[in-house]
Homo-oligomer: A and B are copies of this chain.
Amino acid sequence: MEGQPVISVIGSSAPPAETYELARQVGRLLARAGCTVVCGGKGGVMEAVCRGVAEEKGFSLGLLPAGIEEANPYVTLPLSTGLGEVRNVAVVSSGDAVISIGGAFGTLSEIGFALKLGKPVIALNTWSVQEPGAEPPLLQASTPEEAVKLALEKAGKEHHGGR
A130 to B127 Cα, complex, angstroms: 5
Q: Is A139 interfacial (CB 8 A cutoff)?
A: no
Q: Is A80 interfacial (CB 8 A cutoff)?
A: yes
- Interface of A, helix, strand, loop or mixed by DSSP: mixed
Residues of B close to A33: CB separation below 8 A: none
Closest CB in chain B relative to A64 CB, distance in Å: 9
Residues of B close to A25: CB separation below 8 A: none
CB-based contact A125/B132 at 8 Å: yes
Count of chain A residues with Cβ under 8 Å from any Cβ of B?
54
A108 to B112 Cα, complex, angstroms: 5
Closest CB in chain B relative to A125 CB, distance in Å: 6
Residues of B close to A117: CB separation below 8 A: 82, 85
The one of B104, B112, B126, B128 in contact with A110, judged by C-beta atoms closer than 8 angstroms, is: B112
Residues of B close to A131: CB separation below 8 A: 103-104, 108, 126-127
Residues of B close to A129: CB separation below 8 A: 108, 127-130
A-B contact pairs, 18 of them (CB 8 A): A1-B77, A69-B161, A71-B163, A79-B93, A81-B94, A83-B86, A83-B89, A83-B93, A87-B90, A88-B113, A106-B112, A106-B116, A107-B112, A108-B131, A109-B116, A126-B132, A127-B130, A128-B132
